[in-house]
Amino acid sequence: MGHVGLLMAKVKVGVNGYGTIGKRVAAAVSAQDDMELVGVTKTRPNFEAKAALAKGYDLYVPDESVQAFKDAGVEIAGTIKDMYKKVDIVVDCTPGNVGEMYKAQYLEAGVKAIFQGGEDHSLTGISFNSTANYSESWGAQLSRVVSCNTTGLLRTMYPIDKALKVEHAFVTIVRRAADPGDSKNGPINGLEPSVKLPTHHGPDVQSVMPWMDINTMAVKASTTLMHVQTVVAQLSRESSTEEVLGILREAPRVRLVSSKEGIKSSAQIMELARDLGRDRSDMYEIVVWEDGVKVVGNTLYFYQAIHQESDVIPENIDCIRAMCKVEQDVKKSVAKTDKALGISRS
Ligand code: NAD
């Protein structure tokens, strides 16, 4: 299927919602040789709209915003409905629960759509993660790339479960309070527990791995860089730290780091991403502290860090390939996406 895919026309992609996730999806689509970015949508002619134009992206806007863009002298290529006519698939990156309002439009226009983790699983009936269930979205009309934290849990827990069968897992998530470009959200002081328990992250993992017994709690912390998760998993048999490290070393889009090499916190992980010269200093991989992995009998303990702005981006690209039937082999899609985004093991 892979070579057939290359002979086929490029998949035409539109991005609805040009924020933290949408900007990155647009850039990642542009970096693939089997996809074409038709354009992105903006609701206001602000600095981000101008920056998108400067990158060469066509802008599509809601009917009610056309005049504001004209008044501001920001060039548009058409309305969002015009964009539907030119694309095979829309990646919906609007804020949580806004995507839901667009579902009927996508279906009516006959375009496929990918939603993000801010929407409920029930909106699409299929949720996506490259490592765990690529083929479930094969040819699908609608799918949903799960949230940043859930993507992190699936990338590591799926291969661990496959090898060692997880009886049950308990995860505490220390969440970043706001993204770096956001000056509205908080707290900027204090630690804020999510009191609605258990948190939604466990059921979200189960939307892809329904058999997994997993419970989660979360605390918001005054940081913008990354989330950190502490995982405690009960395995079906005794294992060893070395065995689990071997599994994680082979796991796609998982990067092992060590506090001994100076990576003591999320701050140094972001510094590493800058040093790697990644677009927007992104760390697409889930980062596990090698010296923070420990197995005692049947119990596995480890820490992992999640760059919330970017870990779901490669998944969106693979999801496009699965839904548009471009590549049947998940390994080939993952390798292609990773090469285009500069994700390698070193
Ligand atoms: P964001 O607020 O940064 O971006 C959303 C964009 O959509 C903004 O540019 C906004 O102007 C635009 N928008 C708002 N209403 C719109 C409308 N009616 N039509 C078109 N565009 C509209 O949000 P985000 O952080 O990029 O989140 C997008 C989705 O991705 C959410 O479902 C979120 O849960 C999910 N997600 C976010 C993160 C994260 O950490 N930021 C991580 C993973 C998944």
Mutation test of ligand 1: which of 20, 61, 306 has the most ligand atoms closer than 8 Å to its C-beta? 20
Give pLDDT, residue 5.
47
Which DSSP string do the residues of 240-258 spell out, in sequence order?
Answer: -HHHHHHHHHHSTTEEEE-
Mutation test of ligand 1: which of 94, 127, 204, 282 has the most ligand atoms closer than 8 Å to its C-beta? 94
Give pLDDT, residue 7.
59
Percent of the chain with pLDDT over 70: 97
Considering only residues 345 and 292, tell me which one the structure prediction assigns the higher pLDDT: 292
pLDDT band at 2 (very low <50, low <70, confident <90, very high): very low
Q: CA 61, CA 67: separation in Å to the nearest integer?
A: 10
Q: How many CA atoms lie within 13 Å of 330's alpha carbon, on the beta-carbon side? A: 15
Question: Ligand 1 centroid to 127 CA: how many Å?
Answer: 18
Average pLDDT (121-129) is: 98
**147-158 pLDDT tens trace:** 999 999 999 999
Q: Calculate the CA 225 to chain-centre distance.
A: 15
pTM score of the predicted model: 0.97
**156-169 pLDDT tens trace:** 999 999 999 999 99
Torsion 139-102-42-68 (CA) sign = positive
Catalytic residue, candidates 93, 148, 319, 324:
148
Residue corresponding to tokens 């979200």: 204
**184-233 pLDDT tens trace:** 999 999 999 999 999 999 999 999 999 999 999 999 999 999 999 999 99
Mean pLDDT of the chain: 96
pLDDT band at 132 (very low <50, low <70, confident <90, very high): very high
pLDDT band at 336 (very low <50, low <70, confident <90, very high): very high
pLDDT band at 1 (very low <50, low <70, confident <90, very high): very low
